Amino acid sequence: MLVYLIRRLVNVAVLLLVVSAITFGIFFMVPKLTGSDPALLYVGKIADKAAVEGIRHKMGLDKSIAEQYFLFLKGLFVGRDYSQGTDVTHCSAPCFGYSFKTEQEVWPLLLDRLPVTLSLASGASVIWLVVGTGTGIVSALRRRSVLDRATMVTALAGVSLPIYFTGLLALSIFVNTLGWLPNNYVNFTDDPVEWARNLILPWITLAFLYAATYARLTRATLLEVLGEDYIRTARAKGLKENKVIGKHALRSTMTPILTVFGLDIGALIGGAVLTEKTFDLRGLGYEAVQAISQSDLPVILGVTLFAAFFVIMANLVVDLLYAVVDPRVRLG
């Protein structure tokens, strides 16, 4: 198990390095292709030539791509200094550089956006896990019942209705028309109750989409598992049906759900773009959209790497859990 863990951690490190190289490559190539000058973006249109050259040098934009990538990595791990003559700006690790637009450091910006996205993702994922797998299980056990059919029709609707539709609908009903719920993000640490009240709509909207997928996945998996020989063995032992399902069947049903959940939660922390946009939540996804529309490359690079980090970590956690659940993975 320890060897497995170490191997996986090495994998993660390599993967992150590869992702950073690719993103950085794109970051470097985009201005070339669009004919825009990053240095110019920093100083603004009205700047004179000398100022632009100064910035170019200060930001290291006059160096080769390899050098720039190395400096970027160095900035991530130990921080870096941007100097222009005697004017030295220190950017401490992890340094993602400065926004073109606001000239603010990217890293604090990311840290500032993260709690919003985490709040959204965590609440929604709890809801969809409970509701989605719950209805999936009931549907599978009561196959072809009215409940099963109703659930599956709802699930189909959930899968096919876009977030901005359900989201805007929910907003207009519950916030604008009925006025039952507010829609201004409040930090959890400031007021947990208000935090939840403000997030409940985005949670449910997002969870509806995912719960639908999970219900279908759970139902299909459980039905398949129930046909397995070892379920028949469990029954042949004289186990009660609730034990057969609860212990033997659900244990196997969990694994594919776990895999999908890892991917989903990772991707979601990377940015629930549509939901954040719809509900005006200033999270990572919102920031990404903003940055893209303004060609704010350092921010795009930061958000992308940050997102990649979460996706990879979520996968790592899933794989580790998988190894705990399935001895065949653990023991090779």
Partner 1 sequence: MSKLTKTSAAADMEPTEERPTDAPSEFLSVRDLKVHFPTDDGVVKSVDGLSFTLEKGKTLGIVGESGSGKSVTSLSILGLHRVGSNRSRNARISGEVWLDGEELISADAARVRDLRGQKMAMIFQDPLTAMHPFFSVGQQIIEAYRVHHPSASKKEARKRTIEMLDRVGIPQPDRRVDDYPHQFSGGMRQRAMIAMALVNDPSLLIADEPTTALDVTVQAQILDLIRDLQKEFGSAVIIITHDLGVVAELADDILVMYGGRCIERGPSETIFEQPQHPYTWGLLGSMPRLDRERTDRLNPVKGSPPSLINLPSGCAFHPRCPYTDLTEGASQTVVPELREVGSRHLAACHLGKADRERIWTEEIAPKL
Residues that bind partner 1 (CB under 8 A): 143, 223, 226-241, 244-245, 248, 251-252, 325-328, 331
For residue 186, the minimal CB distance to partner 1 (Å) is 43
For residue 241, the minimal CB distance to partner 1 (Å) is 6
Which lies closer to partner 1 via its Cβ, residue 313 or residue 325?
325
For residue 215, the minimal CB distance to partner 1 (Å) is 17
β 87-91/80-84 pair status: antiparallel
Phi, psi torsion values for 229, nearest 5 degrees? -60, -40
Which lies closer to partner 1 via its Cβ, residue 48 or residue 229?
229
Question: Any idea what the Cα angle at residue 208 is, between residues 146 and 214, rounded to 5°?
Answer: 70
Q: 13: closest CA among 330, 231, 263, 309?
A: 309
For residue 169 the two structure tokens come to 């609908």
For residue 183, the minimal CB distance to partner 1 (Å) is 44
For residue 146, the minimal CB distance to partner 1 (Å) is 17
Task: Spell out the residues 6+ positions from residue 53 whose beta carbon is closer than 8 angstroms to its own.
Answer: 39
Amino acid in the structure at residue 3: V
Which lies closer to partner 1 via its Cβ, residue 193 or residue 236?
236
Q: 267: closest CA among 106, 115, 117?
A: 117
For residue 243, the minimal CB distance to partner 1 (Å) is 8
For residue 258, the minimal CB distance to partner 1 (Å) is 13
Which lies closer to partner 1 via its Cβ, residue 81 or residue 228?
228
Instruction: Report d(CA 15, CA 327) in Å as an integer.
Output: 26
Task: Spell out the residues 6+ positions from residue 160 whose beta carbon is closer than 8 angstroms to its own.
Answer: none
Note the Cα 322 to chain centre separation in Å.
20
Q: Which helix (H) or strand (E) holds 72?
A: helix 65-78
Peptide bond between residue 31 and the one before it cis (omega within 30 degrees of 0)? no
Which lies closer to partner 1 via its Cβ, residue 34 or residue 242?
242
Phi, psi torsion values for 183, nearest 5 degrees? -140, 65
For residue 13, the minimal CB distance to partner 1 (Å) is 30
Contact call for residues 303 and 287 (beta carbons, < 8 A):
yes
Q: 305: closest CA among 108, 30, 76?
A: 76
Which lies closer to partner 1 via its Cβ, residue 159 or residue 223?
223
Which lies closer to partner 1 via its Cβ, residue 176 or residue 233?
233
Contact call for residues 203 and 185 (beta carbons, < 8 A):
no
Which lies closer to partner 1 via its Cβ, residue 222 or residue 268?
222
